[in-house]
Amino acid sequence: MEYFDFVDQVKYEGPKSKNPLAFKFYDAEREIYGKKMKDHLKFAMAWWHTLCADGTDMFGSGTMDKSFGQTPATMDHARSKVDAGFEFMQKLGIQYFCFHDADIAPEGKNLAETNKNLDDITDYIKEKMDETGIKLLWGTSNLFTKPIFMNGAGSSNSADVYAYAAAKIKKAIDCTVKLGGTGYVFWGGREGYETLLNTDMKFEQENIANLMHMAVDYARSIGFNGDFYIEPKPQEPMKHQYDYDAATAIQFIEKFGLEKDFKLNIEANHATLAGHTFEHELRVAAINNMLGSVDANQGDLLVGWDTDQFPTDVYATTLAMLEILRAGGFTTGGLNFDSKSRRPSNKPEDWFEAFIVGMDSFALGLIKAVAILEDGRLDQFIQERYASFNEGMGKKVRDKATNLEELAAYAETLEEPLDPGAGKQEYLEAVVNQVLFSN
Ligand code: XLS
Ligand code: CA
Ligand code: CA
């Protein structure tokens, strides 16, 4: 059965095309900066937003029909989502997907039945993967929706809930390995707390880290050689999160000795919720060798919650791609559209158009980031800005070959006032605008 019969294959038609169901900038096979566009960008479809989310919000029920002709929460529905999902990815030329266990199969009456559903659906997904060549980017377990996780999963006060979470993680790792995934994500939505009055913070954090160590040991024992990722996010849904932003998550990873196996999955909207830019979070990850994968979306800067919009801001995608290129590009990771069409964008055409603008915005970001690197003025400015560390006392500092007494004696020989040099932010912003808009 064909679910999206209004479109055959979404093709690249170039910047002048007015066809809403064509790419204007994403030209998958185009070589740029040493690789094909599709290999730089490694786009992935998020199972949850694309095939499950129906537009429900705090104030209203669903606006989108995602039953795909079947009764929701049945195995027939799960299979029809697989069919619809693979048709969707093929028509858009998307080569990867990401999932939570709960997105792909309905819950059974107990763990054993749920696991059986997961076995059956992953058999079916695997068939489709073999048929189409589409691959799994990463898998994860949903440890936040069920009421038992109300106090957290790895950070739960209940040892039984902790064991249940471990069972879910074990099975989600099995599914990820079975489908050849290159990443496994921990997004700790409920791994935080509401009030310190009821919380042993130190114990909770140690328990989360232990669970991660056990997950690594198990996954390695069954042949997983991909990366684990922590996905930082502040506040939502818990008030205080243990994985607030990239710097906090890196501190956690290093404190608990997880750095050999873990990197970060950076999400644009989570960066802005933490009061950072997307490029800031990418840079913090990159300079710590922790840039693993990216959840590509954008938030609404006028509201304070996680709106998971499709990325359309080319300035932001350009600065993000600049960070990703400077870090050497993706290895195990990619760009997962953790994005949903707006609640009133409720027709299947809208879902295609949402992906098209997201993919085009990142393609433009890639093209413009390469242009910034080739232009060279930004890199050159930064090099010159720190040039005083290339000789004399500056070089001694760089080489860690001096001490406080020597620096103090040197400082007394300097003519005051000192001039550290202008930051020239406006000039640099003008350079970026020129690269963005000059052709
Ligand atoms: C929620 C997160 C979640 C993770 C995977 O805000 O973005 O969807 O990506 O659990
Ligand atoms: Ca995410
Ligand atoms: Ca999000």
Q: How many CB atoms are located within 10 Å of the residue 368 CB?
A: 22
Question: What are the DSSP E strand ranges found in 101-216?
Answer: 135-140, 183-186, 192-193
Q: How many CB atoms are located within 10 Å of the residue 144 CB?
A: 18
Q: What is the pLDDT of residue 425?
A: 98
375 C-alpha to center of ligand 2: Å?
33
Q: Is 5 a catalytic residue?
A: no
Q: What is the pLDDT of residue 219?
A: 99
Q: What is the pLDDT of residue 328?
A: 98
Give the containing element (helix H, strand E) for 220.
helix 201-221
- The pTM (predicted TM-score) of the whole model is 0.98
Biggest alpha carbon–alpha carbon distance for the chain: 81
386 C-alpha to center of ligand 1: Å?
39
Which domains does the chain possess? 33-367 (3.20.20.150), 378-437 (no CATH)
Classify 265 in phi/psi space as left (phi over 0), alpha (psi -120 to 50) or beta: beta
Nearest CA to ligand 1 atom 3: 187
Low-confidence ranges of the chain (pLDDT < 70): none
Please indicate whether residue 187, judged by its CB atom, sits closer than 6 Å to ligand 1: yes
179: its two tokens: 């489908």
Nearest CA to ligand 1 atom 4: 187
DSSP helix, strand, coil percent of the chain (3-state; round to 5): 50, 10, 40
Per DSSP, the three-state class of 257 is coil
Please indicate whether residue 295, judged by its CB atom, sits closer than 6 Å to ligand 1: yes
Burial of 289 (0-12, 13-18, 19+ CB in 10 A): exposed
286: its two tokens: 């990159």
Q: What is the pLDDT of residue 439?
A: 74
Number of the ligand 1 atom closest to the C-alpha atom of 306: 6
The end-to-end CA distance of the chain, in Å, is: 44
Contact 310, 269 (CB under 8 A): no
Q: Is 103 a catalytic residue?
A: yes
Give the containing element (helix H, strand E) for 101.
helix 101-104
121: its two tokens: 């659906």
Residue 378, C-beta contacts closer than 8 angstroms, at least 6 positions apart? 372, 428, 431, 432
254 C-alpha to center of ligand 3: Å?
24
Of these residues, 40, 49, 77, 100, which one is catalytic? Answer: 100
Per residue in 307-366, pLDDT (tens digit) is 999 999 999 999 999 999 999 999 999 999 999 999 999 999 999 999 999 999 999 999
Q: What is the pLDDT of residue 254?
A: 98
Return the best residue to mutate from 244, 295, 307, 340 for the ligand 1 pocket (most ligand atoms within 8 A of CB).
295
The ligand with the least distance to the CA atom of 267 is 2
Q: What is the pLDDT of residue 162?
A: 99
What distance in Å separates the CA atoms of residue 252 and residue 163, rounded to the nearest whole number? 22
